[in-house]
Amino acid sequence: MLLQTGSLNIDDYRASERTFQILTQVAGRAGRGEKKGEVVIQTYNPDNFSIECAKEQDYDAFYESEIILRKSLKYPPFSDIIMLNITSKDEEEIKKTSSYIYNILLKNAGDKMLVYKPMPSPINKIKNKYRWRIIAKCRFNNSIIDIINKSLEVCYKNRRIKSTIIVDINPTNMA
């Protein structure tokens, strides 16, 4: 059985977890019958910790490493992730709108949210529409909802926006 580990190159904090999960699942299915199975993992990252742990079927080591990393980087389950996806047909418009929203969020959030600068999405253009995103980390609650709503309201009131803005709480896909 040949497995490729392209999932490690995805811009997502769960990439290692997904890689570990897929490798252990598939490897666990190899050789269930009468014949002994063999798994070959094809990767550019043979020393990656998730691959090493999957190879050894070491769930505990993987979990311990991953949970420490997530805590230090404020990833779930230690915080929530809010992603504002901005799309527009006009590249200059999306840059200006993204920057404007970012500055309003910073102003309104204070110390309640960690807001990262806007950046193009990993797949930055689909069907002639540019894609940018703003990522924030916080503990999601009613106060955060108010901050986001207030920020978007100010943005739409003070500026003619030709962009679409979608707010995604704890997105399943970071692309």
Is the residue at 127 inside a domain?
yes
Angle between helices 91-109 and 142-158 (to 10 degrees): 140
Is the residue at 175 inside a domain?
no
Residue 37 DSSP symbol: P
Environment class of residue 136 by beta-carbon count within 10 Å: exposed (0-12), middle (13-18) or buried (19+)? buried
Average pLDDT (57-66) is 94
Task: Say whether pLDDT at 81 is over 60.
Answer: yes
Give the pLDDT band of residue 9 (cuts 50, 70, 90).
low
Helix, strand, coil share (%) of the chain residues, nearest 5: 45, 25, 35
Q: Which of 24, 55, 72 is where one domain is finished?
A: 72
Is the residue at 174 inside a domain?
no
Residue 143, domain extent: 80-169
**Count of structural domains within the chain:** 2
Is the residue at 21 inside a domain?
yes
Is the residue at 113 inside a domain?
yes
- Strands 40-42, 119-126: pairing is unpaired
The pLDDT assigned to 32 comes to 72
pTM check: above 0.75: yes
Retrieve residue 154's tokens: 């100010």
Whether 129 and 157 share a structural domain: yes
Of 8-17, 69-78, 148-157, where does mean pLDDT reach its minimum?
Answer: 8-17
